Amino acid sequence: MPLRNLPSVDALLQSAAVLIETYGRPLVVQAIRATLNTLREQIQAGAEVPQNQAILAFAADRLAGWTKPTLEPVINATGVILHTNLGRAPLSQAAIAAMQMVSQGYSNLEYDLATGKRGSRLLHAEALLQQLTGAEAAVIVNNCASAVLLTLSALASRKSVILARSQLVEIGGGFRIPDVMKQSGAKLVEIGTTNKMRLEDYEQALLGFSTPATQPILMRVHRSNFKLTGFTSEPEPAEIAGLAHRQGTLLIDDLGSGTLIDVTPYGLSYEPTVQASLAAGADILLFSGDKLLGGPQAGIILGRAELLGKIKRHPLARALRADKLCLAALNATLLHYLKDEAVREIPIWRMISQTSENLRDRAEAWQREIGCGEVVSAESTVGGGSLPGESLPTFVLSLAVQSPDAFLARLRGLAVPVVARAADGRVLLDPRTVLPGQDGQLVQALKFLLL
């Protein structure tokens, strides 16, 4: 019977020294057994018994698949700067070096070097944020969704929170503001209409609460990934903050992305900076570290020291706290702003500030190298729930291929995957989001696929 001709696991292991050295004996044994099981099914269906070396080659392929990292670097040629599915903001070299420095040994994460006693990780990055923004205090957690949950849990549990209907948003992954409020123990009070909000709406809602103990908190939420246009209106943040303070209550302002730099010089619509939002009177500000800040995934909470003290002491603060790698990268990123070098050193700001001439030159260089394609004008987007609807002029390399979808799939299947986009039956590659040093890799990949 052909199955009898299959070698044993022990026989195959005698010729698998290289595999054992690479993957370890237990995993190689598991791969060989799985390979033999597959071959038995194929032989029973009429296939020939392969040679021992062929069986080991099948096992080696299986091992390579089992041990291949699921998280791997890709080249982003989509033109979406803060591409959520591709990891949002790439880090600066200084941030990467900072993470390496604290990860390869021990650090003073929660150790006070002056006193020799236990310290607090909450101090890391706080001083820089105070200096950059003027905030009294800061807390860093693992993302902005955590910042919202922790803040509401610490300050609004069993209280009412007044929020405009136009801000009852859902962002990526099904994260809905009403659900987070419910989880925190806060009670949502909806006011206004989808398109129209007036200060009087807040005032009327506050009339229903007569004592300081029942006084609700006011909240603003950035719409993140969509815009309201047409017949719309809403009060300015300073007006809402003024009303909150006259009524003896708080304003929590969820900025979503949050930026320390004015974006208008780069051809983008006005977005209040973190500094401007604090100056408008918000008691608490919440924003992300890995969007327009250009740092690691983090949620940043800024505001009054008294309120931040309550947030720091809440039990969820420990569950949602940032780790040493995040804090190291965030410190390095904030230092770029402090030294007025953010646009030069932080990758997303280099992308945003690239000139059309530079982008066209790079696309034309790709075209010359591969010997085909057309350089055409197009639009890049900021992405990542930041500046919804905003775009930046760019130049892309446009390729005419038989099947754009098939070509995009082949790009994604390369050793270093390339993610691009298709429009009007052509494949488009945008140099804005291709990092310095990746041009050569991209050109070689295109040459290989276009042969």
Q: What is the CATH number of the domain that holds 398?
A: 3.90.1150.180
Residue 403 shares a structural domain with residue 312: no
Query: What are φ and ψ of residue 138, in 5° steps?
Result: -150, 150
**pLDDT tens for residues 63-119?**
999 999 999 999 999 999 999 999 999 999 999 999 999 999 999 999 999 999 999
Domain that holds residue 383: 75-83+348-450
User: pLDDT at residue 174 above 60?
Assistant: yes
Q: Any bridge partners for residue 252, and if so which?
A: 219, 284
Burial 347-383, CB ≥16 within 10 A → b, else e: bbbbbbebeeeebbebbeebbeebeebebeebebbbb
Could you tell me if 76 and 434 are in contact, meaning their C-beta atoms sit under 8 angstroms apart? Answer: yes
Q: Are 372 and 391 in contact (CB under 8 A)?
A: no
Cα angle at 415 between 451 and 30, to 5 degrees? 130
Q: 367-381: per-residue pLDDT in tens?
A: 999 999 999 999 999
Q: Are residues 255 and 299 in the same domain?
A: yes
Q: Residue 320 has what pLDDT?
A: 95
Pair (382, 301) in one structural domain: no
The whole-number average pLDDT for the span 152-177 is 85
- Which tens digit of pLDDT belongs to each residue from 3-52? 778 899 999 999 999 999 999 999 999 999 999 999 999 988 888 888 99
Of 298, 328, 343, which one is at a domain's C-terminal end?
343
Q: Do 413 and 392 belong to one domain?
A: yes
CATH number for the domain that contains residue 247 = 3.40.640.10
pLDDT at 177: 83
Percent of the chain clearing pLDDT 90 (strictly above): 75
Residue 125 gets the label, from left (phi > 0), alpha (psi -120 to 50) or beta, of left
Are residues 352 and 384 both part of a single domain?
A: yes
Contact 294, 138 (CB under 8 A): no
pLDDT single digits (tens) 122-142: 889 999 999 999 999 999 999
Would you state the pLDDT for residue 353?
A: 96
Same domain, 200 and 219: yes
Say what the pLDDT of residue 196 is. Answer: 87
Co-location of 423 and 370 in the same domain: yes
Contact 181, 155 (CB under 8 A): no
Is the pLDDT reported for residue 214 higher than 80? no
φ and ψ at residue 147, rounded to 5 degrees: -60, -40
Asked if residue 305 has pLDDT above 80, the reply is yes
Regarding whether 299 and 224 lie in a shared domain, the answer is yes
Considering the domain architecture, whether residues 370 and 277 belong to the same structural domain is answered as no
pLDDT for the residue numbered 271? 87
Return the ∠ at Cα 178 (arms to 172 and 182), rounded to 5°.
120
How many domains does one find in the chain?
3
State the pTM of this model: 0.91
How far is CA 193 from its chain centroid?
Answer: 31
100, 214: one domain = yes
Name the band, by pLDDT with cuts 50, 70 and 90, for residue 398: very high
Q: How confident is the model at residue 336 (pLDDT cuts 50, 70, 90)?
A: very high
Average pLDDT over residues 389-404: 93
Residue 211 pLDDT > 80, yes or no? no
Same domain, 239 and 154: yes
Three-state DSSP state, 114 = coil
Which residues, 6+ apart, have CB-to-CB distance to 160 below 8 Å? 186, 187, 188, 189, 209, 214, 216, 217
| pLDDT score of 364 | 97
Whether residues 111 and 19 share a domain: the answer is: no
Which residue in the block uniquely carries the two structure tokens 């940043």? Answer: 300
Q: What is the pLDDT of residue 1?
A: 57
Q: What is the mean pLDDT of the chain?
A: 92
Work out the pLDDT band at 172, boundaries 50, 70, 90.
low
Q: Which two tokens stand for residue 202?
A: 């807040």
Segment among 15-19, 139-143, 205-209, 363-367 with least mean pLDDT? 205-209
State residue 208's pLDDT score: 73
